[in-house]
Structure 1
Amino acid sequence: MSINKNSLLTNHKSFFDHYQNVKNEVKGLLTFHPKEWISAFRSNSKYPLFVRGDIDGFVSLFMNNISTLLAIILSLQPILGDKIVYSKILPGTGLAMLWGNFYYVYMARKLAFKEKRGNVCAMPYGICTPGAFAFIYVIISPTYYGCISTHDKAYCQELAWYVALASNFLTGVVLLLLCVFGEFIRKNTPSIALLSSISGIGYAILALNEYLPIAEAPMVGFIPFTIVMLGYFGGVTYGPLPVAFVALVAGTVLSWATSLNQSSIVHEAVHLVKFYAPVFPIREMFQHMDTIHFYLSTTIPTAIVIAIGTIQCGF
């Protein structure tokens, strides 16, 4: 009896501790801290605004996002067409990434000032690769092809886009709810368990998908690949130049020298470079909220994967 009683007391204490943690998380989210907000903009000798490694970080993040974005464009063009992809999705994605990275820099500077540290790293903000392809092939594609038999192409393209927007909005709501339990998950889940969520997609998309173009054009791909491997893992330096920058320049020069890049393709793409007026289809998005219940099996797991991927950066 005493053992059962002690066990009940332990479980009760554990539950109470978890409840207090969640309560503190909610309180922290809903409490305004203007002094902490301003601290991110104060001078901090331990945490300069720019260091040499930021160039490497920027180039790496840029190349990672641009490769994912190109794959998304190629997947969406046959479904949504150039108008929606280039005038709506890409500008919105660009603004989101710009805002997200600036906000993460702000959070890093705020934490560095608060804890008087100089080794705080801003988490990179970019496209969620598994989430993007899940939305394309499980939400956008079925919506479009299920509509095209009874409606015109333009209507079906807009419908698929609106349904994707509604699903993405729901994903954001789930993420906001999960952020309350983020610290609890981080403290009570082994890091290896969190990493397992992206291991498969890491090998399939982030590793294999990046390596195949290198193997396809070895004269162009293997020299930058070697530069990166020697620089990051072999300790080789290239003077004052960052490793990623050297690899990027070498790959660009080799691409033009071997005619892998062609000027005609660049000329064809020039007409796409122009100002696109922002659109806010909020009403249309909420009008299609009743259709997203078909895709909850994709939307909710995608939100969880994104949340766990974000939590992983805390380790």
Structure 2
Amino acid sequence: MSTRYPLFVRRDLDGFFGLFVDNLVQLLLIISLCTGLCGMSGEDARYLYQHILPGAAVSIVFGNLFYAWQAHRLAARTGRDDVTALPYGINTVSLLVFVFFVIKPVYDDTQSAEAAWQMGLLACLGSGLIEFSGSLVADTVRRNTPRAALLSTLAGIAIGFISMTFALEIFQYPLVAMLPLAVILITYFSRISLPWGLPGGLIAVTLGTLIAWVLPADITGVTVGLHETTQAWEARGWCPPQFAGAEIWKLLTADSHWLRYLSVIVPMGLFNVIGSLQNIESAEAAGDSYDTRSSLAVNGVGTMLAAGFGSCFPTTIYIGHPGWKGLGARAGYSTLNGVVIALMCLTGTVALVNSLIPMQAGIAIVLWIGIIITAQAFQSTPREHAPAVAVGLFPAIAAWGATVVLGAYTQAGGSAQKALEANPTVAVNGFLLHGMFVMERGYIFTCMMLAAISVFLIEQRFYTAAIWSLFAAAFAYCGLTHAYQISGNALDYLFGATQPMQGALAFRANQIAVGYLLFAAVFFIIGVLQKPQETVE
């Protein structure tokens, strides 16, 4: 079956701007955190600009070109011309976790940016290996997991970590961001054609950029200008990728110090596998059915390539495929994003682009993506499963709340650890601090399991709900969910028999594991009492 599937369509520009803004935010975050927290400034800035960003370029262009090619293959096989490529880029969650729990701690211990960078490479490589290995079993997991369980997690993340974040940004900088928002809402909610057929995303970004340049920074709150652009232009330079395999091998063979970071690497690798799996399911719900194994395998290979060429940060299949499909993007947006982001990283022009186009001008597109993801979780699941989707939102919302609270403690110079030690039932405006942390740890798994249990209860498949409860108990007992340790305002996992950090406040989730076992027992008993008995799946 053949189809006329174009390399690029006009609406790919809208998709490109949305994905580009998202990727640009990650790159600026890497520069800010590595410079300010991990010692990669001054002479040691070479680890950032000569290794990390070029390594990120390799992984980003590799993944974006593959998923664009994959979309062409799907279009050719199905005879459709409306196939949208899977979005792909740097994993925000892994970025933050690796900085705060791998790279920064190594730098604090050694005061060596090189040692911190090397450990980041190893963490990235480990995550990629887990992602690649997960591709071998992910299809089985996907076939046996209700759609509501996979999509509700994405909805929770979209509400807390995409839509809410960018909504706050829009109202923080209204003069630059609200006019682009109006254009985006008209274009994609009203679905009307704009003058001369121009893409809504292009008009939105152009208007926001013009406002930022015309009005002074003390009015808009957004800093752009010739001085900043000139500085960014002078700082550019060609930085080709450099193979970093020798650095990783050196660290592996030096000593066993790296083993302590498995408590971060393993859950983040599993987190990325499940997250990508959910995004593939989201794409199928939107109409584009991609092969699970090859999609996840390339995802893992992209992360390993990032580590092999100097980047400490995993790449992943992004949340938001239905949003980009709703924009009208096809495969061209992925190709264009990969090429542009790679060129920026290789030429040192990330800061230059940010000085010309403030990200506030394009965040309305990303906000719209988050809205569509949340809507899809309810629209693409059976009507009777809507309560299960709602149940799956709570852990992700708790995770967002925990992030906000910990950030507030840090900004105020306080300590969440000391607050909990003084009063284990301490509440922040009525919200229990300990409860938020318990739901935050491993929330992507908790969202999925609670939603799955709810689906099977709705369908009166009590034995299957009991089996999922046993999985939930096992995850809690092992520390993949609910267990945590906190030192100051640094929240970390606490596995099984692992010893907590010195001076940290630790909570093991054994009681929660027992609670899930009680779930299983009750569901099993009800299943026995039901007539006719349910067939165990």
AA matched with 2:10: R
The residue aligned with 1:253 is: 210
Q: Distance in 2 between matches of 1:131 and 1:195?
A: 20
Q: Does the CA-based 8 Å contact 2:179-2:208 persist in structure 1? A: yes
AA matched with 2:188: Y
Per-residue CA deviation, residues 230-289 of structure 1 (Å, 9 max, x unaligned), is 222232432311111111101110110113312111111123211013221211112223
Q: Distance in 1 between matches of 2:114 and 2:153?
A: 32
* Larger proportion of helix: 1
Between the two proteins, what is the percent identity of the paired residues?
Answer: 30
In the TM superposition, what are the counterparts of 1:149-188 in structure 2 within 5 Å? 156-188=112-144
Normalised TM-score (structure 2):
0.47
Q: In the TM superposition, what is the alpha-carbon distance from 1:44 to its structure 2 partner? A: 4.5
2:3 to 14, 21, 45: 45
The residue aligned with 1:102 is: 65
Q: Does the CA-based 8 Å contact 1:197-1:305 persist in structure 2? A: no
Q: Does 1:216 align with 2:172?
A: yes
In the TM superposition, what are the counterparts of 1:65-144 in structure 2 within 5 Å? 65-78=23-36, 79=38, 80-81=40-41, 82-144=45-107
Q: Distance in 2 between matches of 1:179 and 1:190?
A: 19
Q: Does the CA-based 8 Å contact 1:224-1:250 persist in structure 2? A: yes
Q: Does the CA-based 8 Å contact 2:67-2:86 persist in structure 1? A: yes
Q: In the TM superposition, what is the alpha-carbon distance from 1:90 to its structure 2 partner? A: 1.6
Q: Does 1:303 align with 2:261?
A: no
Q: Distance in 2 between matches of 1:204 and 1:291?
A: 35
The residue aligned with 1:34 is: none
Q: In the TM superposition, what is the alpha-carbon distance from 1:185 to its structure 2 partner? A: 1.4
Q: Does the CA-based 8 Å contact 1:221-1:251 persist in structure 2? A: yes
Q: Distance in 2 between matches of 1:200 and 1:68?
A: 20
2:193 to 220, 232, 237: 237
Structure 1 residue runs of 4+, over 6 Å off? none
Q: Distance in 2 between matches of 1:118 and 1:90?
A: 34
Q: In the TM superposition, what is the alpha-carbon distance from 1:197 to its structure 2 partner? A: 4.2
Q: Distance in 2 between matches of 1:147 and 1:205?
A: 33
Q: In the TM superposition, what is the alpha-carbon distance from 1:147 to its structure 2 partner? A: 1.1
Task: Give 5+ residue unaligned stretches, structure 1.
Answer: 1-42, 149-155
Per-residue CA deviation, residues 126-156 of structure 1 (Å, 9 max, x unaligned), is 11111111111111111111112xxxxxxx1
The residue aligned with 1:272 is: 235
AA matched with 1:157: A
Per-residue CA deviation, residues 144-187 of structure 1 (Å, 9 max, x unaligned), is 11112xxxxxxx10111111111111111111110011211111
Per-residue CA deviation, residues 82-134 of structure 1 (Å, 9 max, x unaligned), is 32222221222123211111011111222322333333321011111111111
State which drifts further: 196-205 or 68-77: 196-205
Evaluate the alpha carbon distance shift between residue 86 and residue 199 of structure 1 in structure 2; reply closer, same or farther with a 3 A threshold: farther
Q: Distance in 2 between matches of 1:277 and 1:64?
A: 23
State which drifts further: 230-239 or 279-288: 230-239
Q: Does the CA-based 8 Å contact 1:86-1:272 persist in structure 2? A: no
State which drifts further: 97-106 or 273-282: 273-282
Q: Distance in 2 between matches of 1:248 and 1:301?
A: 37
Q: Distance in 2 between matches of 1:53 and 1:262?
A: 30
